[in-house]
Amino acid sequence: MANAKNPATPDWSTIPKPEDDGACEGLQGRQFPAIALPSTLGNTIDLSTLPGLTILFCYPRTAAPGENVPPEWNEIPGARGCTPQACSFRDASDELAGLGVKQVFGCSTQSTEYQLELKTRVHLPYELLSDEKLELAEALGLPVFEWEGKRLIKRLSMAVEDGKVMKVFYPVFPPDRSAAEVVEWLKVRG
């Protein structure tokens, strides 16, 4: 079911809410691994080397235009809402910059070519990173799940400062509040 305010956003009360399974415990305070991921800019980016505060949000997958997403997808707690999450960071990009965020990246296991279509279609002002080989997910021990024979990263966000994980947001629900949750943390953090 769609949300009356925005037809592209589902009614979150009809979507199963993910529970905290402890999969992200121990991430906060860790050094970010030195892994260069392909980006929609056409280069590779190693978040461990970036100075300042970076926000990385991970999402399972976005649907292609016209793709008929099966109802089973909506039954997976936390799976639905990748595009609303990405758009939440798009819409909050100026506020995030004003709160000291130097860069924002989205990350999924989809190919860079697939991600570039999303970036263009919904006008994302930041780059998307492809962890198609699950290098980052495995190095950090990020939570994953299986869908149609593929391993996908569960939805989460993290603040990385000068190569160190400062804060992890997991589980993230509803997805369209992901950026607002980061903004609230940044305001309290000062």
Q: What is the DSSP string of 80-116?
A: S-HHHHHHHHHHTHHHHHHTTEEEEEEEESS-HHHHH
Task: Work out the average pLDDT over 164-189.
Answer: 97
Structural domain contains residue 71? no
CA angle, residues 91, 182, 114, in degrees to nearest 5:
55
Percent of the chain with pLDDT over 90: 87
- Which residue type does 51 have? P
Which residue range is the domain that position 52 belongs to?
Answer: 23-64+76-189
Structural domain contains residue 137? yes
- Count of structural domains within the chain: 1
Q: What pLDDT is recorded for position 8?
A: 60
Q: Please check the confidence at residue 68 and state whether its pLDDT lies above 90.
A: no
Structural domain contains residue 82? yes
Structural domain contains residue 152? yes
CATH number at residue 163: 3.40.30.10
Structural domain contains residue 10? no
Spell out the residues 6+ positions from residue 152 whose beta carbon is closer than 8 angstroms to its own: 60, 61, 79, 108, 109, 144, 145, 146
Structural domain contains residue 18? no
Q: What pLDDT is recorded for position 65?
A: 81
Structural domain contains residue 15? no
Q: What pLDDT is recorded for position 6?
A: 44
- Which residue type does 137 have? A
Q: Which residue has the tokens 């402890």?
A: 22
Spell out the residues 6+ positions from residue 83 whose beta carbon is closer than 8 angstroms to its own: 8, 62, 63, 118, 122
Largest alpha-carbon pair distance within the chain?
43
Structural domain contains residue 136? yes
Task: Work out the average pLDDT over 46-61.
Answer: 98
pTM of the model: 0.93
